[in-house]
Chain A
Amino acid sequence: MIIAFTSLKEKIRRKEFTIVSVIGALILLTFGSGSGSLTINGKAVTDYSSLAPILLTVVNAICCGLSVVMSLGTIPNEYERRTSHLVWIRKIPQHRYHGELAVANILSGLASEAILFLAILIFMISYGKTGELWRLIPAYLILGINITIVSAMTSAFSIILPRPVSGAVSAAAALVGIFHGLLSILKDIIGGFAGEMIKYFLKVIPNLHGIQREAGNVLCEKPIDLHIILTGLLGAYVFGVLILVFKRKSS
């Protein structure tokens, strides 16, 4: 795992990681303070059970976006800088090399999630939920599935596709995943050919929205749907396998 940790250190040193995470945490604190101007249907949203899922929606969107950005260049950069040659001479197989770099991508995404969860921790304390703080751990792990999926997906595509293409495909897939619930409703409203097309997209793209909702259910003491979580883990597994399977020319 030396490759993974070296790559992770490099990522955490990058400014965009810190800047995006800190700005995200500040946004969350503003929403979560109850003094923000968040309204739904003209009514101010200030109660815990309404705000907690909204905060997780923001964390999910920021972390998924950050995961695409941070995972996009990791593997291609290694080849462009010819660092890969240092690995080949040590007889490290390509799939392990790609795998460790992808692990670094996933861990950096999870690190940004941890920073944003600090804001949720403060939010929970401010709402007197100190006895419920343990719920942050399962919620963090469940939401971490999304970050794992997006990081693994972007890493896998970055092995075989040119950077702009893999970036566009990964960002589009992450967006569809984040808006899975909304698109599912849109599909039912518009119907017809367009509705059918959306339906097929939704079948192959992981339901990041559903996983985020389950994380919210944990925070709000609601029952969780194990099927959605397992489906998310299976999605992460599939992209993980693709990382090991996809090959890239060494030179």
Chain B
Amino acid sequence: MSAAGRTSAGWWLLILPALLLVLVFYIAPILQVLAISVSEPEPGFANYERLWTSEGVQRVILTTLRICTITTALALLLGYAIAYAITLASPRARGWWMLAVLVPLWISVLVRAFAWVTLLRRQGLVNNMLMQWGLISEPLALVWNEFGILVGMVHYMVPFAVLPMLSTMREIDPRLLAAARGLGASRGQVFRSIFLPLSTPGVIAAGVLVFIFSLGFYITPAILGGGKTLMAAEWISLQILDLIRWGLGTMLATVLVLAILVTLIVFSRVVDLRRMFGTGG
């Protein structure tokens, strides 16, 4: 018994370095953010009152929720199509489809935002091409607005939507689909009454994942929004770096963290975090 106890202590010792690092250099700085939100400029919940009184704060929250909702819906739709294609593809084609998902996932988010700016700005490739073909006479405003943010964010989020949906779809027995087909169901019927219901848990997991990732997204909205459409993360950075209003910035940061944690807890029954992140490997 004591030998087993000592062994267990040995294994705990292995956990210790990571645990200390995370507590001292991750959890502590974040707790400090929460503390600043109720202590600066003066102790109390004055910063949180702004949630009800300040139009600026409300606008940022509404913009963030609107963009995140649209992003999630589009990423789910496009991601579903890809996951569906991968599930039904032959093993060889499957490898190529996976590549189309995993390569963008690992390419730097800055590179992708830069590519979108190259394509979408006023003198960009898309506007030039449309003008050359005579489809438009004036360049369209495709970037540095909400449209640009959405294009870039959906592009970033689709791979994150695909992975959880894919792991659910792979568990659907293909014989079920073949049997339904054989019994005379049309392709649409098979999809609606078998495939779609069975893949719904994956869709919910993907939706939660994409939504919480979108909430705190900084780089893509900052580059493609051009400073006009502010989402939560960029607004926080503005409060802290430019306006030195720590109380307000940390207040919204706290709200952001709480919103994410609450979403995760509410959906924890459908969404297995560990599995969700494990599918990438």
A binds B: no
Which residues on B are within 8 Å of A, measured CB to CB?
Answer: none
Which residues on A are within 8 Å of B, measured CB to CB?
Answer: none
